[in-house]
Amino acid sequence: ERARERERERDRAGGDRWAIGGENDDLTWRTCRICRTWKPPRTHHCSICNRCVLKMDHHCPWVNRCVGWNNYRYFCLYLMWLSLCCVFVLITFFQSFWHDIVKMDARHPTRNFKNRQYIGLSWILCVAILLSMGILGGFHFYLVLTNQTTIEFQGNITKSAIYRAQGVIRRNPFDLGRTRNFQSVFGKSALWFLPWLSFVQGPTGSGTSFQTLGGVI
């Protein structure tokens, strides 16, 4: 009753109205039209794998499987470690690249042509991979901090625009704050970036229920 009264006061004062989720949000168990079975919230059917995937983010053609509840943190860590490896190669090869490629003296080369090719190709590959992984990794880092999947992100843009046209500011029902959102993917361990250690615990839960701003669903 107090919440309703505060909303009425904001309306009278011309303030913004807020909505947590909406009637079209994926907050309940539903029936998959293809599998003909029950599927939990945030679960989607993958037409390539031909099965429902818990908290599905996307289907990755590079590993030929879906990225979802069971392996999303490994996917994010893969992007992070691959980017760091590229940075390591760029730093390690920087002196050789600068002297043997950029400022090369054709009359007195310090390395033969084949070695210069290796250095130049390594730099080009690492720069290209770092740029692509940086953009993709930055996008998924944003998704982690806002507790969204790629599928939900696309849907939330449309839903937020519809609510905004009605003068209502919509909130993502799964957004619990940056810290809790991060822990829901990587767990609470301080060594979250080393998942192969046996004592590093991942996120708790089964992928069939999630904490929301309105409680557990």
Tell me the average pLDDT of the chain. Answer: 83
Work out the average pLDDT over 111-128: 85
| Burial of 199 (C-beta count, 10 Å sphere; 0-12/13-18/19+) | exposed
Q: Does the pLDDT value for residue 8 go beyond 80?
A: no
85 part of the active site: no
**Radius of gyration for the chain, computed over Cα atoms and rounded to the nearest angstrom:** 24
pLDDT in the model for residue 100? 76
Q: Residue 43: pLDDT above 80? A: yes
Closest CA to 172 of 183, 159, 186: 159
Catalytic residue selected from 32, 46, 52, 60: 60
Query: What is the share, in percent, of the chain residues with pLDDT greater than 70?
Result: 83
pLDDT at 108: 57
pLDDT-based confidence at residue 214 (cuts at 50, 70, 90): confident
Q: What pLDDT does 14 receive? A: 42
When pLDDT is cut at 50, 70 and 90, the band that residue 82 belongs to is very high
